Amino acid sequence: MILRRLRSWFGSDGYSALGDEVAREKVRAFEDRIGYRFVKPLLVCGALTHRSYFNVAGGALPESNERLEFLGDSVLELVVNDFLYHRYPEHQEGDLTKMKSLLVSRSVLSLVAAELGLGAYLLLSDAERVSGGEERASILADGFEAVIGAVYLDGGLRAASRFIERFLLGRSEDILDSSDHINYKSILQENVQERHKTYPRYHTTSEDGPDHSKEFTVEVRVRGKVLGVGKGTNKKAAEQAAAQEALAGLGIDPTSDTPHS
């Protein structure tokens, strides 16, 4: 019944059904990015609509992505469980559960979504975007799951499985074998916003070395106070290192990030 209601709600074909011009542009660009053309563009529009944007868009959009996120979460777990069951026949239930929990954790999903560039396509209110919403782990992870829900409703389980395999499971071994999946910037941002009602700012303090082998040094500050300093071969890596140091200084263990399931 829920699926019938969702299909009915999002059942209109064509981009003309998107009453919001910003939404139309975001939908088309995101379809190009993921290489999937929706039969019902309203589905992906719903997946990209954060509640902050829905609240200011009036009646131009059907709803925010929260219901699609709920559905996508279940589809994601099914696909990941099926993948792990067949990929690791020698592993017992306890090990498979731990592996699944990592692959569907907020830190992993937010990092995958960030690398996909999902934040740039999300429909956020101006206030939410200014506050760093397009980099916030919870928004990215929820948006990624909402997209899965939209692909599932539009193309079925096979299409959703292909999407998950392409953007998540294709790199599962690296994720399971490495701590690089931790999105320190997103974890720091959520904790700083919760504690201080503001967000961290990153400042590049130096660029050393020749163009082909530069080392960047970045500070992360909150209300002018330096919380961490990081170095890396690019600004993104240096920012992650700075955020990691800041989390350590705040006594926050990023590996304790609870699974998103």
**Which sequence positions are flagged as catalytic?**
73, 145
The type of residue at 48 is: L
Which residue from 114, 124, 149 is spatially nearest to 23, judged by alpha carbons? 124
Sequence length of the chain is: 261
CA–CA separation, 93 and 201 (whole Å)? 42
